[in-house]
Structure 1
Amino acid sequence: MKRMTLSAVLFVLMASTAAVTYGVAPTAKMADKRARFDLETQIPQAFGEWRLDPTVIPLQVDPDTQARLNRIYNQTLSRTYINREGARVMLSMAYGGDQSDQMGLHKPETCYTAQGFDVRSNVPAEVQLQQGVLPVRNLLAVAGGRSEPITYWVTIGDKVTRSGIDQRIQELRIGLTGTIPDGMLVRVSTIDTDTTRAFGIHKDFVRSLIASLPPQERTRLIGTF
């Protein structure tokens, strides 16, 4: 027998898992079993060397896209922070209590493209935290004279994924227990043409944010390692 390619193996595994998941018919929502989490009050306005900067508003989406996002997400948060050197980081977070097939998280590469940006790079990366290695994705979105490096990650249930195949496998794993997973998307970005500098600032910002949170809130953002 010829050896199956990795793509073929993944297809078979996902198809088999999906069939089993369909048989289980998840109905219970993980969100209903977890402690309430409020992004607006539980994400600090100041941490480490970062402070809220109310003068800059992160990228806003068009009304049609916003309407779709309102159906997907239970909570969203958009803020801009500034440090003592004057570096600004835009933080956007979205929480959805229903990560079934029809209600999946809206990935930044899709959102930015819909807003007229050219997503010129999309690569996996990592941020070293005290708790372990946080898998993220680094994007570069450009529109006219605006160059926006972006770092984001997705948490499905209690595990972080980079989206894509990893995210889908995590959703199916939870679905096998008869549970509909919840999900959190965390995005940080800056306006900068120097991507090396920008992604370095993102890492410092993420480390500082995560270190400032108590264990329960931290777990909602980065899951368990």
Structure 2
Amino acid sequence: MTVDASTNDENQDEGVLNSPLVNRRHLILGGAFCLAAGLAYARTPQVVFPVIKKDDFEKLIPKSIGSWKFETSSGVVLPPPDALSDRLYDNLVTRVYSASEDPAIMFLTAYSNTQDGVLQVHRPEICYPAGGYELTPTRPIAIENGLGGSIPANVFTATGRDRTEHVLYWTRVGNEFPLTWAQQRLAVVKANLKGVIPDGVLVRASMIAPTVDDAMPHLTKFAAELNRTMNKQGRALLSGIKANA
């Protein structure tokens, strides 16, 4: 009697596939793959900060800040437009504040609920040169927030064809206040490792004055009055000051 070898091989393969050992291996491997997929998803950074409506964001910025009163929305140097501007600047407020006893202050703040390494709030050292200004080296400074604390900030002077502005600004990314692009990117990475896509804000105040020494007392006073005047949500959003402050 002749036995077909191919039939025996098929029967043996079918027997192996149907064996309890192979089925257990399939279950173990499948479970491992599912676990790995679940861990990968759990480690994927998630957006945790909600989008803020434009009107709601604008209401967080007071119309009166100390002795300064909102005068106009024009005359402020803006970030350069690019393909991401619509998402970068969903929340953008530009204002000029005037006062009888203090020089006019040009104010800008931009907020984004996602800082994912691609979408990041522009720093002023980009937008001023794009407008034809020459900049002095940026130097760090700690400014009083008006509520007993301080904020790490930067100062530089921008000289254009028709005016010279002295600029004070800070950026908040999540819980960090980065002073450079490198620190800003690192703040995003650190938040991502915790499973979070951080939010980010730029706060900028500038004025025209003969020297930076003439401008700084007014700019730091404006920053302190801004934090004193804003409500708790505004202080937390722009300056990272906790809600109980």
TM-score of the superposed pair, with normalisation by structure 1: 0.80
Is contact 2:141-2:153 (8 Å) kept?
Answer: yes
Q: Residue type of the partner of 1:73?
A: Y
Aligned with 1:104 (options 120, 123, 127): 120
Cα distance in 2 for residues equivalent to 1:180 and 1:55 = 31
Q: Give 1:101 deviation, angstroms.
A: 1.3
Q: Please state if 1:202 is matched with 2:210.
A: no
Q: Structure 1: state its 5+ residue gaps.
A: 1-20
Total equivalences in the alignment: 201
| Cα 1:167/1:60, change in 2 over 3 Å | closer
Could you list the runs of 5+ residues in structure 2 that have no partner in the other structure?
1-39
2:49 is matched with which residue? Answer: 31
Q: What CA distance in whole angstroms lies between the structure 1 residues aligned with 2:151 and 2:105?
A: 19
Aligned CA distance change for structure 1 residues 115 and 45 (closer, same or farther; 3 Å): same
Tell me, yes or no, if structure 1 residue 178 matches structure 2 residue 178: no
The one-letter code sitting in structure 1 at the alignment partner of 2:66 is G
8 Å CA contact 2:171, 2:203 repeated in 1: yes
Distance in 2, matches of 1:181 and 1:55, equals: 28
Alpha-carbon separation, structure 1, partners of 2:153 and 2:172: 10
The answer to whether the 8 A contact 1:73-1:97 is kept is no
Aligned position for 1:116: 132
1:146 aligned onto 2:163: yes
Structure with the higher strand share, 1 or 2 = 1
Q: Residue type matched to 1:179 in 2?
A: V
Stretch moving more, 135-144 or 120-129:
120-129
The structure whose RCO (Cα within 8 Å, separation 6+) is larger is 1
Match of 2:180 among 152, 156, 163: 163
Q: TM-score, normalised by structure 2?
A: 0.74
- Report how far residue 105 of structure 1 moved: 1.2
Equivalent in the alignment of 2:108: 92
Tell me, yes or no, if the aligned pair for 1:153 and 1:163 is still in contact at 8 Å: no
Q: Distance in 2 between matches of 1:90 and 1:66?
A: 23
**RMSD, aligned α-carbons:** 2.5
> Shift in Å at residue 39 of structure 1?
2.7
The equivalent of 1:51 in structure 2 is 69
Where 1:101 maps in the other structure, the secondary structure is coil
Amino acid at match of 1:25: T
Matches within 5 A, 1:49-88: 49-54=67-72, 57-60=75-78, 65=81, 68-88=84-104
How far apart are 1:182 and its partner, in Å? 0.9
CA distance in 2, matches of 1:111, 1:61: 5
Change (3 A) 1:175 1:40: same
* Segments ≥4 residues shifted beyond 6 Å: 34-37
Structure 1's 35 and 115: CA in aligned 2 closer, same or farther, altered over 3 A? closer
Measure, in 2, the Cα distance between the counterparts of 1:79 and 1:195: 21
1:137 maps to 2:130: no
Larger gyration radius, structure 1 or structure 2: 2
What is the CA distance between 1:66 and its match in structure 2? 5.9
**Following the alignment from structure 2 to structure 1, what is the Cα–Cα distance between the partners of residues 99 and 83?**
33
